[in-house]
């Protein structure tokens, strides 16, 4: 426990940005990717923290991302914006599109950002949080690659297809959720396998299509959606809206394209932004303070808001820095030296 | 079984429209309400069929709906349209807003319709289906009244908050789902109570906030959300977007306003329409035929698409008419005579 290093968010950001710059990422991509990875580490989301650096670099080395691509904004003045990522990492495409999306939502009430042809590895909460910081509510979704069976099915087809939502809260971190539409993450099944433990019932089916609690079987078979047929329907909606509709790869197509689930998938993403101020205009009552009544009622009966643990870890990190183990520091130094 | 009457969709529509006209609804409201009720009966959705007439009439008699109100479209030319229902039944407000919403989505890529101050009793699938009929994908949601506890909570706060989605399919009925974000409908718990049967675990908690399988306890306590904290987060999002954001009542506010769960609630609704053609433009590939590949893969592994049972009942009704029992015909005749 004494063998740890404490870095400020800024210090860690500089290190991670340097790693990506030295590995061939453009300044925009290096900064945008480093920002989401450090945000994960800062919020004690270890699975989206510096652990992700290696996967990103592998994807670069495999030639499955375009590290120097400059994402291009396509804007015809309508409520629909597009960023063609041209193979870049998605956070760089979002960075280009987000300010325009925010302004368009304020003007139009609602606006959408379709990100196309990106390489995607990050959580969606940094994006919806960024939009809440501009006073907007936001919904984000994307496919991934086929590892989940549709309800009643027997084979992997859908992705873990995350859905994220954010709502701005004055004087509080935003209301934010971001979850996979599978019951569990693939990584959780992998952890059970390594620990030699059975997985809970309802997480997965084996290659023969029947329910299994054996992690090996589950990894060779398919995961299940959360909430049975309802989660399956939502996951299918995500394939349609953030795949077929935006002219980008669905999860089965993304798996075909990449040929493996071990690199970051290439596909698109859909972000919808809402201006609560414009939606509520003329109706009387402030939408943000009315939302606080709902949050108070949730908290008042002992329930939690999503992301509370993450926000409290963030507070600690911002106050006291991010503590990394000796192994983590060694990993960072190795990435710096290897480049 | 011999004592049944078979009516065509048109014949039943005429009867139900007449019932509502004779009970004081404007022509627009009577037609719009009759259309969704007959659609439910036609699709063998008995819980949203002619069974609903009585509840609508009770709400009229209680003065909790404005049967002669003319919903007003408010359109500033942006991607956000509003229909102030002025207390009318929601299907009338949707009927006014839908064609304008469809055109706006085609022009802008995405558009939203906020329906305010409506009385709501109907399923959302007739609305998303109507939009798929105009070539659009659509998402609809609304609060209801507090009967559901947030995940980790002990008291009713959220509504059963339905979420519906539709995607147009050439040569097939659309891909449509429409479900409550509670595990079960309140009516299902009531049916268990009448039958003296316990409800499944995970449906509800009792008034003391602990899990129960006793339907009496469940009705006095709170229902639970589907998919645990994920369903709870989605239900909360619906309160925010289709309640606080659009300047209309959340589920606790709707319950306060009405003072009972036995009449149709007064609140708002949010409908979002997407033009897949505009979203996919310039990307190559037809979004509708690409979506069909996904549907084929779902069906090909023996899974079902949502609403399949409903569409097959519809086919039968359109071909052979809607068969009503003697008791159902007597109910219709009584409503006609009583007016």
Residue A339's pLDDT band (boundaries 50, 70, 90)?
A: low
Yes or no, beta carbons of A154 and B302 under 8 Å apart: yes
User: Is residue B149 within 8 angstroms of chain A, CB to CB?
Assistant: yes
Residues of chain A with C-beta less than 8 angstroms from the C-beta of B233: 165, 177, 179, 306
Three-state secondary structure of B296-329: HHHHHCCCCCCCHHHHHHHHHHHHHCEEEEHHHH
- Which helix (H) or strand (E) segment is B71 a member of? none
Mean of all residue pLDDT scores within chain A: 96
Mean pLDDT of A183-205: 93
Provide the pairing of β-strand A72-75 with A80-84. Answer: antiparallel
CATH of B1-61+307-339 given 2.40.50.90, 1.10.1530.10, 2.30.30.90, 3.10.580.10: 1.10.1530.10
Q: Could you say which residues from 280 to 299 on chain B have a Cβ atom under 8 Å away from some Cβ of chain A? A: 280-285, 287-288, 290-291, 293-294, 297-298
CATH of B184-224 given 3.30.60.50, 3.90.1150.200, 2.40.10.220, 3.40.50.1110: 3.30.60.50
Yes or no, beta carbons of B301 and A247 under 8 Å apart: no
Residues of chain A with C-beta less than 8 angstroms from the C-beta of B139: 237
Mean pLDDT of A255-275: 92
Q: Which of A47, A296, A312, A320 is catalytic?
A: A47
What residue spans define the domains of chain B?
1-61+307-339, 69-182+226-303, 184-224
Smallest CA-to-CA distance from B79 within A269, A272, A270, A42 is with A272
B261 or B102, greater pLDDT: B102
> Looking at the DSSP assignment, which residues form a beta bridge with residue A222?
A205
Q: Hey, of A141, A279, A299, which one would you mutate to test binding to chain B, going by the most B CBs within 10 A of its CB?
A: A279
CA angle B125, B128, B134 (to 5 degrees): 140
Q: How far apart are CA A239 and CA A243, in angstroms?
A: 5
Mean pLDDT of A216-232: 97
B167: left (phi over 0), alpha (psi -120 to 50) or beta: beta
Structure tokens at B336: 């006609």
The shortest CB-CB distance from A111 to any of B79, B150, B175 is to B79
Q: Hey, of A185, A287, A294, which one would you mutate to test binding to chain B, going by the most B CBs within 10 A of its CB?
A: A294
Q: Which of B127, B129, B188, B328 is catalytic?
A: B188
Would you say the C-alpha torsion A205, A211, A217, A219 has a positive or negative sign? positive
Mean of all residue pLDDT scores within chain B: 96
Q: Residue B245: what pLDDT? A: 98
The shortest CB-CB distance from A239 to any of B245, B279, B294 is to B294
B223-248 CB burial, b ≥16 within 10 A, e <16: bbbbbbbbbbbbbbbbbbbbbbbbbb
Residue A1 has pLDDT above 80, yes or no: no
Residues of chain A with C-beta less than 8 angstroms from the C-beta of B297: 157, 252
Q: Hey, of B279, B284, B296, B306, which one would you mutate to test binding to chain A, going by the most A CBs within 10 A of its CB?
A: B279
Residues of chain B with C-beta less than 8 angstroms from the C-beta of A308: none
Find the closest chain A residue to B240 by CA distance: A291
Mean pLDDT of A312-319: 97
Find the closest chain A residue to B114 by CA distance: A279
Residue A124 has pLDDT above 70, yes or no: yes
Residue A192 has pLDDT above 80, yes or no: yes
Q: Residue A46: what pLDDT? A: 87
Three-state secondary structure of chain A: CCCEEEECHHHHHHHHHHHHHHCCCCHHHHHHHHHHHHHHHHCCCHHHCCCHHHHHHHHHHCCCCCCCCCCEEEECCCCEEEEECCCCEHHHHHHHHHHHHHHHHHHHCEEEEEEEEEECCCCCHHHHHHHHCCCCEEEEECCCCCCECCCCCCCCCECCCCEEEEECCCCCCCEEEEECCECCCHHHHHHHHHHCCCCCCCCEECCCCCEECCHHHHHHCEECECCHHHHHHHHHHHHHHHHHHCCCCCHHHHHHHHCCCCCCCEEEEEEEEECHHHHHCCCCCCHHHHHHHHHHHHHHCCCCCCCHHHHHHHHHHHHHCEEEEHHHHHHHHHHHHHC
Q: How far apart are CA A158 and CA B151, in angstroms?
A: 26
Residue B2's pLDDT band (boundaries 50, 70, 90)?
A: low
Yes or no, beta carbons of B179 and A80 under 8 Å apart: no
Q: B184 with B191: CB under 8 angstroms?
A: no
CATH of B69-182+226-303 given 3.40.50.2000, 3.30.1370.60, 3.40.50.150, 2.60.120.20: 3.30.1370.60
Q: What's domain A183-224's superfamily in CATH?
A: Hypothetical oxidoreductase yiak; domain 3 (3.30.60.50)
Residue B141 has pLDDT above 70, yes or no: yes
Class of domain A69-179+226-306 (CATH, top level)? alpha beta
Residue B49 has pLDDT above 70, yes or no: yes
What CA dihedral angle connects B226, B228, B229 and B232, to 10 degrees? 30
Q: Hey, of B106, B222, B252, B294, which one would you mutate to test binding to chain A, going by the most A CBs within 10 A of its CB?
A: B294
Q: Which of A15-24, B49-58, B161-170, B257-266 has the least mean pLDDT? A: B257-266
Yes or no, beta carbons of A233 and B165 under 8 Å apart: yes
Mean pLDDT of A146-152: 97
Q: A239 with A250: CB under 8 angstroms?
A: yes
Q: Which of A26, A48, A253, A317 is catalytic?
A: A48
Three-state secondary structure of B216-232: HHHHHCEECECCHHHHH
Second CATH level (architecture) for the domain A1-61+311-339? Orthogonal Bundle (1.10)
Q: Rg of the Cα trace of chain A? A: 20
Question: Which tens digit of pLDDT belongs to each residue from B84-117?
Answer: 999 999 999 999 999 999 999 999 999 999 999 9
CB count in 10 Å sphere of residue B306: 21
Smallest CA-to-CA distance from B56 within B243, B323, B265 is with B265
Q: Could you say which residues from 197 to 236 on chain A have a Cβ atom under 8 Å away from some Cβ of chain B? A: 226-234, 236
Residue B29 has pLDDT above 70, yes or no: yes
Q: How far apart are CA B260 and CA B254, in angstroms?
A: 9
Q: Residue B317: what pLDDT? A: 98
Could you confirm whether A188 is annotated as catalytic?
Answer: yes
Yes or no, beta carbons of A287 and B247 under 8 Å apart: yes
Q: How far apart are CA B40 and CA B43, in angstroms?
A: 5
Q: Residue B338: what pLDDT? A: 80
Q: Which of A218-222, B181-185, B193-197, B258-262 has the least mean pLDDT? A: B258-262
The shortest CB-CB distance from B280 to any of A153, A245, A285 is to A245
Structure tokens at B182: 């509670």
Find the closest chain B residue to A289 by CA distance: B244
The shortest CB-CB distance from B247 to any of A167, A285, A306 is to A285
Q: Residue B339: what pLDDT? A: 66
Yes or no, beta carbons of A177 and B233 under 8 Å apart: yes
Q: What φ, ψ does residue A175 adopt, rounded to 5°?
A: -75, 115
Q: Residue A2: what pLDDT? A: 63
Would you say the C-alpha torsion B305, B310, B315, B316 has a positive or negative sign? positive
Could you confirm whether B320 is annotated as catalytic?
Answer: no
Residues of chain B with C-beta less than 8 angstroms from the C-beta of A246: 279-280, 283
ipTM above 0.95, yes or no: yes
Mean pLDDT of B160-184: 97
Smallest CA-to-CA distance from B280 within B82, B109, B122 is with B109
Find the closest chain B residue to A74 by CA distance: B282
The shortest CB-CB distance from B108 to any of A78, A151, A272 is to A78
Q: Rg of the Cα trace of chain B? A: 20
Yes or no, beta carbons of B78 and A107 under 8 Å apart: yes
The shortest CB-CB distance from B279 to any of A137, A230, A245 is to A245
Yes or no, beta carbons of A157 and B298 under 8 Å apart: yes
User: Is residue A165 within 8 angstroms of chain B, CB to CB?
Assistant: yes
Q: Residue B46: what pLDDT? A: 87
Could you confirm whether A296 is annotated as catalytic?
Answer: no
Question: Which tens digit of pLDDT belongs to each residue from A156-177?
Answer: 999 999 999 999 999 999 999 9
What lies within 8 Å, CB to CB, of A89 at 6+ separation is A25, A29, A32, A33, A56, A65, A67, A118, A119, A120, A121, A264
């Amino acid at each position: 426990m004494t063998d740890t290093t404490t870095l400020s968010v800024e210090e860690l950001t500089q290190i991670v940005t340097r790693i990506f710059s030295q590995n061939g990422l453009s300044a925009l991509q290096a900064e945008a990717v480093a920002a989401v990875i450090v945000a994960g580490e800062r919020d004690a989301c270890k699975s989206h923290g510096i652990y992700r650096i290696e996967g990103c670099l592998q994807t670069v080395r495999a030639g499955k991302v375009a590290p120097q691509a400059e994402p291009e904004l396509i804007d015809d003045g309508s409520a629909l914006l597009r960023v063609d990522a041209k193979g870049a990492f998605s956070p760089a495409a979002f960075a280009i599109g987000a300010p325009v999306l925010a302004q368009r939502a304020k003007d139009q009430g609602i606006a959408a950002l379709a990100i196309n042809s990106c390489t995607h590895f990050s959580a969606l909460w940094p994006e919806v949080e960024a939009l809440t910081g501009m006073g907007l509510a936001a919904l984000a979704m994307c496919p991934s690659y086929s590892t989940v069976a549709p309800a009643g099915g027997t084979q992997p087809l859908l992705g873990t297809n995350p859905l994220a939502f954010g709502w701005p809260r004055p004087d509080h971190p935003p209301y934010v959720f971001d979850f996979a539409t599978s019951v569990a993450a693939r990584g959780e099944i992998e952890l059970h396998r390594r620990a030699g433990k059975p997985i809970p019932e309802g997480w997965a089916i084996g290659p023969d299509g029947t329910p299994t609690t054996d992690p090996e079987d589950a990894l060779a078979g398919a995961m299940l959606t959360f909430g049975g047929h309802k989660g399956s329907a939502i996951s299918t909606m995500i394939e349609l809206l953030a795949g077929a509709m935006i002219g980008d790869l669905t999860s089965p197509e993304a798996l075909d394209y990449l040929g493996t689930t071990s690199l970051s998938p290439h596909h698109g993403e859909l972000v919808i932004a809402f201006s609560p101020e414009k939606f509520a205009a003329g109706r009387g009552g402030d939408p943000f303070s009315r939302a606080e009544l709902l949050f108070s009622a949730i908290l008042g009966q002992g329930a939690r808001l999503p992301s509370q643990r993450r926000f409290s870890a963030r507070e600690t990190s911002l106050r006291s820095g991010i503590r990394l183990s000796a192994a983590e520091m060694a990993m960072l130094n190795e990435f710096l030296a290897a480049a």
